[in-house]
Amino acid sequence: MSEKDDFAKGLLTGALIGGLIGVAVGILVAPKSGEEMREELAEKAKDFAEKVQDEYDVLYDKARRTTDTLIHSLHDIEETARKKADELAARVKS
């Protein structure tokens, strides 16, 4: 899961940086006063950061559930394999 986590973090970081650059450029080319521009830039950056955090939380929760499901499945497989091994050992002994 580490590679997927790293990929997700990199993707979210890239999206955040790209989004912030896009917001900044869009606001800077708009015909507004400096103070209005800074306020709007700060508000949009905050909104965007919240959206990125929300998406990250969703992805993290999904990854956690997937990991938990995988671990549970592996435990089931391990238990089945142990039972089969015990059955084979018993058959060999008899």
> What gap in Å lies between CA 21 and CA 19, rounded to an integer?
5
Q: How far apart are CA 80 and CA 71, in angstroms?
A: 14
The Cα-based distances of 21 to 25, 42, 56, 74, 93 in angstroms read 6, 12, 19, 44, 71
C-alpha Rg value of the chain to the nearest Å: 25
pLDDT at 66: 92
Whether the full predicted model's pTM is greater than 0.75, yes or no, is no
Is the pLDDT at 32 greater than 70, yes or no? Answer: no
What is the per-residue pLDDT across 33-62, written as a single tens digit (0 to 9) for each? 778 878 887 888 889 889 888 888 998 899
